[in-house]
Structure 1
Amino acid sequence: MVEHQLAFTRAMDAVQHLADPNPPWQDILRTARDLVGADSGTLIVFDARNHLSNLSAIGFSDACFADYQGHYYRHDVLERDSRHAPAGTWLDTARMYSRSQLQRTEFYADFMLKHRMAQILSLIVESNAVLHASIGFQRSTVDPKASERLQSGNFGQYFRTLQSHLGQREKALSIGWKSVESAFSEVNEAVLLINQDGMVNKMSALARQLLDEARGWRVQGGKLRHADSKCQRLFDAHCAAAFRDGHSRSLATTTGWGEFHWMDISVAPDSLSLIGGRLLLARLRRKSAFAMPDVDKLESVFGITHAEAAVLAGLAAGHSVEEIATLRQSSVLTVRKQVASLLNKMECSRQAELVRLASLL
């Protein structure tokens, strides 16, 4: 009784850290396994296409981990038969299948038996259009009343607390995403969250707008796709590299003459991941050779007058001195004096250098 209470206290202490940016899932799994009295514990996440997205385990041998991750996740009977079950559902191989039914499955015959698993108990902790996640426990002996026991007393209190904290984390994630979306939208950047299988978890309203224009990028089958196969291969390679080493990558794709989309791909903050697993943040913005520079920004950055900034914007847009004079309803002489002042203030010797500096904005 004392040992059970100690295990319960440790498990409750660990689960409080679900609010951390990067929850200590190994500690959470270890203490939950000890509370349940199982041989091992797992956190398993599948994406929308039923591919394994994340696997965390405590008590698994290296061979067991490699077998499941490399092949047997595709034959996991519990995952297969619970894809549409809601969060909060308990799964139990001893209750869901007769012994003869279980023995006829590849998952039991070639995986469970090999790694001395007689029974698997699993609680679905998240189930939505993007992911399906469960926390599971593997036993070397069968306890026919295990699933009932885990829903009552201290066990029930612990798992209700775990689900409650996950719900709070989901709310915090939603607030965090809205902040990210708002911040980047202010500077006209669309943002998307992408998982390791290339699936789009979230996208901003501006991202939907850009993708709806169907000029290159689009979401197809839940993945970000490009009409040009060369661009697609480059994007996939950049994502794989960013997942591997954590370094940012960039690529540009044309959308028409003088226009293109620029994308920055970087590792997303841990706080944007609900249940572990690295995500990428893709920032997409439209660039155009015909866009006029912001006059106020030119004035502020280069320390020039507003009138000079307007002339500089005209030069950057490809207008001649005479055209600028006409557009500004000014004399050619006045505009030439303003160009001379710009050359002096910005330490340039030619108008082409002024345009190059202005293009930075």
Structure 2
Amino acid sequence: MAELRAAIALRTQQTKLWTQASDSLFEPLGEVALLATPRGYITHCAPHARERLSGEGGIVREEQLWHRSTGIRQRLHHALAQAAAGMRCVPVHIPALGGAAPSMRVDFTRADPRLGMMNETLVFVRVRFADMPADVSVELLRQAFPITQAEAQVLASLIRGETTKDIVVRTGASIHTVRKQISMLMTKMECTRQLELVSKARALF
């Protein structure tokens, strides 16, 4: 019993450290993240994230992922199930409802197994809002950083909240090309993570 309590305490501490690190990464980008069970029960949601996601048009009610639209609720729960089953990234786009809240892109991925208790599966939920900068100047990015025009265009897309796949679909470029451009951006801008790259660039706007 003592060993079990010690294991639970260790897992709780590991989860706390991980979620604190996650919050510190996403908050500067204007994004929020949370952890939930495959049935939609929230196990971690920082106060600032809960504030942004609650209320009219939001996706959090009490301790659950929820939306007032039945259709959107079904999409959220379907995405949770898909992510828990191992799908790499399951996106759900949620439109604004009468101006009550900004539109959102919600990405679901299976969380690190070490974050769950007693082999519990958790889902990592990342939320990006449409109130992120849309008028991003490619020319300003090119002038501010030692990057090419093509790299600046990719960086502008990342600032707007697009994923690598979004860029590939919209531009018709190969996934290899876009990933190489992002890698070059991180090298030239002296960043070790893509989140750091986007945060550094967003500071211009």
Q: TM-score range by the shorter chain?
A: 0.5 to 0.7
Q: Which has the larger radius of gyration?
A: 1
- Corresponding residue pairs, total: 148
The residue number in structure 1 matching 2:82 is 241
User: Is 1:263 the counterpart of 2:106 in the alignment?
Assistant: yes
Query: Is 1:179 matched up with 2:18?
Result: no
Q: Does 1:192 align with 2:27?
A: no
Q: Compared with structure 1, are the counterparts of its residues 297 and 201 closer, same or farther at alpha carbon in structure 2 (3 Å cutoff)?
A: farther
SS at match of 2:29: coil
Q: Quote how far apart the aligned CAs of 1:237 are.
A: 1.2
- The change in CA–CA distance for 1:240 and 1:301 in structure 2 (over 3 A counts) is farther
Distance 1:251 1:209, change over 3 A: same
RMSD of Structure 2 on Structure 1 (CA): 3.1
The corresponding residue for 2:173 is: none
Q: In the alignment, which residue of structure 2 is the partner of 1:281?
A: 124
Whole-angstrom CA distance in 2 between matches of 1:278 and 1:289: 31
8 Å CA contact retained: 2:32, 2:49: yes
Task: Map Cα deviations across residues 29-55 of structure 1 (whole Å, 9 max, x no partner).
Answer: xxxxxxxxxxxxxxxxxxxxxxxxxxx
| Counterpart for residue 165 of structure 1 | 7
CA contact (8 A) 2:11 2:115 kept: no
1:253 aligns with 2:94: yes
Say whether residues 1:209 and 2:82 are aligned partners: no
Q: CA deviation digits over 1:255-297, x for unaligned, max 9? A: 2569411100100111221321110011011114874326754
Whose strand proportion is higher, 1 or 2?
1
User: What secondary structure sits across from 1:251 in the alignment?
Assistant: strand
Greater mean alpha carbon deviation, residues 166-175 or residues 285-294: 285-294
1:226 aligns to what?
67
Inter-CA distance 175–196: structure 2 relative to 1 (3 Å threshold): same
Kept in 2, the 8 Å contact 1:243–1:267? The answer is yes
Q: Relative CO higher for 1 or 2, CA cutoff 8 Å, sep ≥ 6?
A: 2
CA displacement, residues 209-245 of structure 1 (integer Å, 9 cap, x when unaligned) = 212353232324x211011111111111111122223
- The equivalences for 1:87-166 within 5 A come to 159-166=1-8
Change (3 A) 1:196 1:289: closer
Q: Say if 2:33 and 2:124, in contact at 8 Å, map to a contact too.
A: yes
Shift of 1:165: 3.0
Task: Assess if the C-alpha contact under 8 Å between 1:189 and 1:206 holds in 2.
Answer: no
Structure 1 position 169, deviation (Å): 2.4
Question: How far apart are the structure 1 equivalents of 2:132 and 2:12?
Answer: 41
C-alpha contact 1:190 1:205 (8 A) present in aligned 2: no
2:198 paired residue number:
none
Q: 1:260 to 1:240 in 2, by over 3 A?
A: same
Letter in 2 for 1:225: W
Taking the TM superposition and a 5 Å limit, the aligned residue runs for 1:79-94 are: none
**Gapped regions of structure 1 (runs ≥ 5):** 1-158, 313-360
Q: Structure 2 vs 1, CA of residues 216 and 167 (structure 1 numbering), >3 Å: closer, same or farther?
A: closer
Cα distance in 2 for residues equivalent to 1:301 and 1:243: 40
- 2:38·2:77 contact (CA, 8 Å) conserved in 1? no
Q: SS of 1:186's equivalent?
A: helix
Secondary structure class of the residue paired with 2:135: coil
Matches of 1:301 and 1:208 in 2, distance apart?
38
**Runs of 4+ displaced beyond 6 Å:** none
Q: Percent identity?
A: 17
Residues 298 and 284 of structure 1: is their aligned pair in 2 closer, same or farther, counting only changes over 3 Å? farther
